[in-house]
A and B are shown apart, each in its own frame.
Chain A
């Protein structure tokens, strides 16, 4: 009897690490044509094998990207990459049972390699042939294992097929009119912005990171799907770090995102952000540490958005409903109340922007070639839908266009743009009043207001407690007696998901957007989450695990002209 392995799904709703997906400027049609021709030949040839694949697809991520990193006013890295990553995905057996059945065998469905950068037919076809051959060996031997195991293992709870039936799609997206990156100019800008932090001796470390990508994704399948999708993305991340006197590490991050680098904010705005980050870090250093607490809490829209992404969003992912090592918190709750009835949660990748902010999780076709669809996950508090890839479960047999992946990994159901709306709202300006009312009602001296969060991680495996952590940075005590708000540091929100979601009492009326990237089993994908500010009757917090390293012994180095006074400057400790 196989014991379920504890498998952890970790989603970092990150501001930083991005996987570039790129594209070159070559004519899209000829690459697609070459892929299709070779796919057709491979499929026809392999039909004579035993076992024969019933599904074959070629996916190519054509990548063109640049990364620029600066620290302390100087460039640390500036490099460009052009690459074409090819994935051959093959399924052997039948949709009812194939080689990708169960987690251990998923990877047998994919073989990856690098394609030539130009559209050289012979070279491209050769590499695809090599990968397909390898893929066949892998898939056919995995299928043998699957057949054997299925005979031996206990009955699974969910006997759905391994692959859903979907109609084929044809779509070639127009090349995006994105201005090429002025690398030199951005190197200088990154230097300048990172140099701003030098004004603040309390900021020990800082980074300015820019990643620009201009990609094309190609997909051709044996079902006749042919989809070409351009995408362009520029992410700018500004980060500052410091340490409190007791060793607690403190960090503040701001991210900016747009299709092209030209649309990113101006230097003036970015320098102001660097100043804001630095001032916040100064304030955090001086702030008292939080105490463990359970009581009323107010989350800003951005904080609430991340909260929902972590606590709810991941638990809606389709493949989790089938995996017996998963916690499956919501699996059996279709058509049941899971949230307060005034809340509705929709995941809509077809939405391109919200209140003027471009959404990071937008796409037209998912990574399995299924058209993106607006999914009503929770309607007036009732769970209605999961986010589905082409892996069915016993509640839903079809994909709803949420099969996403990074190159090299198999797709799973993932979020796109998670939008939380409320019918029980008060103007944001009144939300604070309500908050204080609730604090007084519960007889607490203060409540906690969460303004800025860094994204979090969530554990969904059955063998682990259904905990989640959203990692707040700017948190304030809001006093019932009218004292001014007090910044505190070292706060972590904890709790179990079902409980915390049902503590939402009322929301504000203004949506805020959080753009980020999310990493899980199928890799890193860009996502967005949007929500109004939310008042919780109770949120539980614990003290953040603090580092043990004290602040730096010496003050930061000063320019040489002051070196004579340097030697006299006292050590901090």
Chain B
């Protein structure tokens, strides 16, 4: 096999992928820096945190090796006729993964992997204009699992060398590209950030594989209880990520996080062939918060019950435009997708004059939500109403301390979430430059909290739904309990005459988008729900139930599937 070093890395990834779940990938992104904090919790002082952090840094073998190679690179890496780097950073991600899956009462997959990667960024130029562009956005390499000084430094050495060479090419390429545009960029390429030293303890997964594998198998064995259930599976994915970060500005950080995900998945078909599915999940930062085997089983039974009811539920045949109540669960999905992805301060491509990407790029200081709602992203909180939050972190993947950012205040968009790549009017990072292991950082939410000024109780928000329907002479309104994407999974008609609820199937929303959020939201509940989410980076959304006064619900135009060509195999009697 004749390959370059790059191909060899891909090749390694390829065969590792066959044996394990891949944790490495190459990706690119950017970030920015802190602005004036506006919260009750001022950020911690960014000066070194005292003796404990310094001594932790010097005794940690990984940090030590990284700093040593960083020093050597900083003082010596230079090519003739090319500027020396003005900035170098090393980030090592140590990932431990466990995954297991069962279907129909039997385990069909289980695996443990432990791997490390290093990501090296070398910048040439200066803070105003630098090489972080095209091929200059960083190099990823495998890193040794053993805390072996030389082995780690060798990987850093090769990656630094390549990153520097590519940076010099990238800067030349960028200058050439920008010469096409007359307007000068009104902000720096790279935001300055204070040096930070923060050493947190390492994180470890704590669980019993045997217990989990038994529980997953046992829950999925419940497929026997309903012959019309076509598929029943359950998976567990647990991850611990420990990250080590050093840069030439003097930042040294170490932090560890864990998350645990358990997901059930069931499928059935209605008599007309419509595919019906449910996939509830539990996601926490602590193993102790996961359901035990008994709860998992009873929740599986409940899920199967809802699948049965869905099968028997009437179709939504007539179109509806009117009030719709979203449960807090459904609301978290809506806010995650429509707010979470649009309050990120992501710099557009060179030559694009928009402030950021996403739907709110022209909405700075404009209204994006009703005035009774505010949204804050605060990664520093550790728990909410007794639930751990997987979006919690102290320091982002660019070595900047996480800040509380009130992105939307009384409906007005006042801030964006930023890493160290400035955007127009936002020169500093607010500690939201986040990245998955091996990936380039990019602005992302941490813990997105939606708060309402006048929160209605559960009883009263349902009352308001009925009230609004009555005003429009409607026979019923809609209540959505669970979504899949933006499509309702559990949708109920709520009858105005007596308030009773009827499960229905086969409906979709029409025009559920950011405009609907801004114009048609009329009330919110006082029942915030914690929703931990996997996504590109682990994050949390906390939101209450919400009421729209006008949303369109119509019949789906997706065709029904064929029923199975032949019946499933008979079960072994007595099991």
Contact surface of A with B, Cβ cutoff 8 Å: 12-20, 38, 41-42, 45-46, 49, 65-67, 69, 71-84, 114-118, 120-127, 129-130, 133, 136-137, 191, 198, 204-205, 207, 209, 211, 239, 241, 249, 251, 253, 454-456, 471, 547, 549-550, 552-554, 556-560, 563, 566-567, 571, 573
**B104 and A249 form a contact (CB under 8 A):** no
Residues of B within 8 A of A456 (CB): 2
The chain B residue with its CB closest to the CB of A549 is: B165
Verify A46–B15 contact, CB threshold 8 A.
Answer: no
Q: Judging by beta carbons under 8 Å apart, are A71 and B144 in contact?
A: yes
Query: What B residues does A553 contact at CB under 8 A?
Result: 76-79, 161, 164
Shortest distance between the CB of A551 and any CB in chain B (Å) = 9
Contact A82 B566 (CB under 8 A): no
**CB closest chain-B residue, reference A197:** B154
CB proximity of A368 to chain B, nearest CB, Å? 23
Q: Which of B76, B108, B569 contacts A554 (CB 8 A)?
A: B76
- List chain B positions with a Cβ less than 8 A from chain A: 1-5, 8, 11-12, 14-16, 18-20, 68-69, 72-73, 75-80, 101-116, 142-146, 148-158, 161-162, 164-165, 223-224, 230-231, 562, 564-569, 571-572, 575
Chain B residues whose CB sits within 8 angstroms of the CB of A207 once the complex forms = 8, 12
Write out the residue numbers on chain A whose beta carbons fall within 8 Å of the beta carbon of B156: 557
**Knowing A454-B2, A554-B77, A571-B77 touch, does A20 contact B105 (C-beta < 8 A)?**
no
10 other contacts beyond A69-B12, A71-B151, with CB at 8 A cut-off? A38-B569, A41-B569, A69-B16, A77-B113, A78-B145, A81-B19, A83-B108, A83-B109, A204-B5, A207-B8
Report the nearest A residue to B97, measured CB to CB.
A79
CB of B163, distance to nearest CB on chain A (Å): 11
Q: Shortest distance in angstroms between A294's beta carbon and chain B's nearest beta carbon?
A: 21
A241 lies within 8 A of B572 (CB): no
B105 touches A573 (CB 8 A): no
With A81-B111, A116-B108, A554-B73 in contact, do A136 and B144 touch (Cβ < 8 Å)?
A: no
Which one of B108, B564, B567 contacts A84 once the chains associate, using CB atoms below 8 Å?
B108
Pair B14/A17 contact, Cβ less than 8 Å: yes
- Find the residue from A116, A198, A471 having the highest chain B CB count within 10 A: A116
Q: Which of A117, A241, A571 contacts B107 (CB 8 A)?
A: A117
- How far apart are the CA atoms of A123 and B572 in the complex, in Å? 10
Nearest Cβ distance between residue A375 and chain B, in whole angstroms? 27
In whole angstroms, what is the CA distance A567 to B575 when docked? 72
Minimum distance in angstroms from B81 CB to a CB of chain A: 11
Partner of B569, one of A69, A122, A136: A122
**Given the complex of chains A and B, what is the CA–CA distance between A204 and B108 in angstroms?**
41
| A/B interface sample: 19 pairs, CB < 8 A | A15-B1, A67-B20, A69-B142, A78-B145, A79-B20, A79-B113, A81-B111, A84-B108, A114-B108, A123-B104, A198-B154, A204-B158, A211-B15, A211-B19, A253-B1, A549-B162, A554-B76, A558-B150, A567-B76
The docked-state distance in angstroms from the alpha carbon of A82 to that of B103 is: 16
In the complex, are the beta carbons of A205 and B146 less than 8 A apart?
no
Contact flag A556-B79 (CB < 8 Å), given A15-B1, A71-B142, A207-B12: no
Residue of B19, B69, B80 touching A79 (CB-CB under 8 A) = B19
Q: B568, A129: Cβ atoms under 8 Å?
A: yes
Contacts of B223 in A (CB 8 A): 126
CB nearest to B568 among chain A residues = A129
Question: Which residue of chain B has its CB nearest to the CB of A76?
Answer: B142
Checking A122, A251, A455 against B575 with a beta-carbon cut-off of 8 angstroms, the contacting residue is: A122
B150's partner among A72, A114, A573 (CB-CB below 8 A) is A72
Contact B1 A79 (CB under 8 A): no
**Nearest CB of A to B146, in Å:** 4
CB of A72 within 8 A of CB of B108, answer no
- Distance, CA A298 to CA B398, complexed state (A): 56
Contacts of B12 in A (CB 8 A): 69, 207, 209
The reply to whether A559 and B565 contact each other, CB–CB distance below 8 Å, is no
B575: A residues at CB distance < 8 A: 122
A79 lies within 8 A of B112 (CB): yes
**A123 near B142: Cβ-Cβ < 8 Å:** no
Complex CA gap A259/B76 in Å reads 49
Give the docked Cα–Cα distance between A126 and B145 (Å): 40
A473 to B315 Cα, complex, angstroms: 68
Q: Could you tell me if B72 and A566 are in contact, using CB atoms closer than 8 angstroms? A: yes
Q: Which of B14, B148, B562, B568 contacts A126 (CB 8 A)?
A: B568
Task: List, in ascending order, chain A residues with CB within 8 A of B230's CB.
Answer: 130
Q: With A and B bound together, what is the CA distance between A73 and B145 in angstroms?
A: 11
* Residues B106 and A75 in contact, CB atoms below 8 Å apart: no
CA distance in complex: A65, B575 (Å) = 32
- When distances are taken between beta carbons in the complex, the residues of chain B under 8 Å from A69 are 12, 16, 142
Contact in complex: B565, A17 (CB < 8 Å): no
User: What residues of chain A lie closer than 8 Å to B115, measured between beta carbons?
Assistant: 76-77
Nearest CB on A from B196, distance (A): 25
* B contact residues around A46 at 8 Å (CB): 565-566
Q: How far apart are the CA atoms of A566 and B144 in the complex, in Å?
A: 22
Residue of A nearest to B116 (CB): A76
Using known A-B contacts A17-B14, A42-B566, A122-B569, determine if residue A198 contacts B106 with beta carbons closer than 8 Å: no
- A76 near B144: Cβ-Cβ < 8 Å: yes
Contact status B153-A557, CB under 8 Å:
yes
- The reply to whether B154 and A72 contact each other, CB–CB distance below 8 Å, is yes
A556 CB to closest chain B CB (Å) equals 6
Q: For the complex, what is the distance from the CA of A34 to the CA of B531, rounded to whole Å?
A: 42
Q: How far is the CA of A251 from the CA of B5 in the complex (A)?
A: 9
Contact B158 A552 (CB under 8 A): yes
Q: How far is the CB of A571 from chain B (nearest CB, A)?
A: 5
Q: How far is the CA of A490 from the CA of B245 in the complex (A)?
A: 40
A471/B155 in contact, CB under 8 A = no
On whether A122 and B105 interact (CB within 8 A), knowing A12-B1, A38-B569, A71-B151, the answer reads yes
Q: Please indicate the chain B residues that have their CB under 8 angstroms from the CB of A75 in the complex.
A: 144-146
Complex alpha-carbon distance, A550 and B19, angstroms = 34
Q: Quick check: A122 and B571 within 8 Å, CB to CB?
A: yes
Give the residues in chain B near A130, CB-CB below 8 Å: 230-231
Chain A residues in 8 Å Cβ range of B101: 114
A209 to B571, CA, bound (A): 45
For the complex formed, measure the closest distance between the CB of B397 and the CB atoms of chain A, giving whole angstroms.
22
Task: Write the nearest CB–CB distance from B53 to chain A, whole angstroms.
Answer: 22
The residues of A that contact B116 with a CB separation of less than 8 Å are: 76
* In the complex, chain B residues whose CB is within 8 Å of the CB of A15: 1
Determine whether the beta carbon of B1 is less than 8 Å from that of A454: yes
B20 near A117 with CB under 8 A, answer no
Query: Is the CB–CB distance between B572 and A126 below 8 Å?
Result: no
Identify the closest chain B residue to A557 (Cβ): B153
Q: Is the CB of A249 within 8 A of B1?
A: no
Among candidates B112, B114, B155, B161, residue contacting A71 with C-beta atoms closer than 8 Å: B155
With A12-B1, A129-B569: A118-B106 Cβ-Cβ less than 8 Å = yes
Q: How far is the CA of A41 from the CA of B569 in the complex (A)?
A: 8
Q: Is the CB of B19 within 8 A of A65?
A: yes
**Structural contact, A455 and B1, CB atoms closer than 8 A:** yes
Residues of A near B569 (CB, < 8 A) are 38, 41, 122, 125-126, 129
Q: How far is the CB of B111 from chain A (nearest CB, A)?
A: 6
How far is B569's CA from A129's CA once the two chains are assembled, in angstroms? 7
Shortest C-beta distance, A456 to chain B (Å), equals 8
The 8 closest A-B pairs by CB, nearest first: A74-B144, A116-B106, A74-B151, A45-B566, A123-B106, A557-B153, A123-B104, A125-B569
Q: Which residues of A contact B157 (CB under 8 A)?
A: 552, 554, 556-557
Q: Is B8's CB under 8 angstroms from A241's CB?
A: yes
Q: Contacts A123-B103, A249-B5, A552-B161 known; A82 to B110 CB distance under 8 Å?
A: yes
Among A20, A71, A120, A126, which residue has its beta carbon within 8 angstroms of that of B18? A20
Q: How far is the CB of A303 from chain B (nearest CB, A)?
A: 14
Residues of B within 8 A of A42 (CB): 566
Given contacts A79-B20, A79-B111, contact A74 B148 (CB under 8 A): yes
Q: Considering only CB atoms, which chain A residue lies closest to B71 in the complex?
A: A567
Are A114 and B146 in contact, with the CB atoms below 8 A?
Answer: no
CB-CB under 8 A from B2, the residues of chain A are: 251, 454-456, 471
Q: Which residues of A contact B566 (CB under 8 A)?
A: 42, 45-46, 49, 129, 133
* Cα–Cα, bound, A241→B335 (Å): 50
B417 → chain A closest CB, angstroms: 34
